[in-house]
Amino acid sequence: MEFPGAYAETGVFVCFEGGEGAGKSTQSGLLSDWLRARGREVVLTREPGATAIGKELRRLVLSPETGVLDDKTEALLYAADRAEHVATVVRPALRRGAVVITDRYVDSSLAYQGAGRSLDVADVDRISRWATGDLRPHLTVVLDLAPSEGFGRFEERDRIEGESVEFHTRVREAFVRMARADPAHYLVLDARAPIDDIHAAIVARVQDLL
Residue whose C-alpha is closest to residue 35's, from 119, 80, 99, 94: 99
Cβ neighbors of 126 (< 8 A, separation 6 or more) are none
What's the mean pLDDT when you consider all of the chain?
A: 92
User: Is the pLDDT at 155 greater than 70, yes or no?
Assistant: no
- Domain at 13-207, CATH from 1.20.1250.20, 3.30.1110.20, 3.40.190.10, 3.40.50.300: 3.40.50.300
Strands 139-144 and 42-46: unpaired
DSSP calls for 151-185: GGG-S---TTTTS-HHHHHHHHHHHHHHHHH-GGG
Q: How many CB atoms lie within 10 A of CB 79?
A: 22
Residue 21 in marked binding region: yes
Residue 20 annotated in ligand binding? yes
Is 97 part of any known ligand binding site? no
Q: In this structure, are residues 198 and 22 in contact, taking their beta carbons and an 8 Å threshold?
A: no
Tell me whether residue 128 is annotated as binding.
no
* Range list of β-strands (E), 19-107: 42-46, 99-103
Band of residue 159 on the pLDDT scale cut at 50, 70, 90: confident
Q: Is 164 annotated as a binding residue?
A: no
Q: Does 22 belong to an annotated binding site?
A: yes
pTM, whole model, 2 decimals? Answer: 0.92
In the chain, where are the structural domains located? 13-207
pLDDT tens profile 75-103: 999 999 999 999 999 999 999 999 999 99
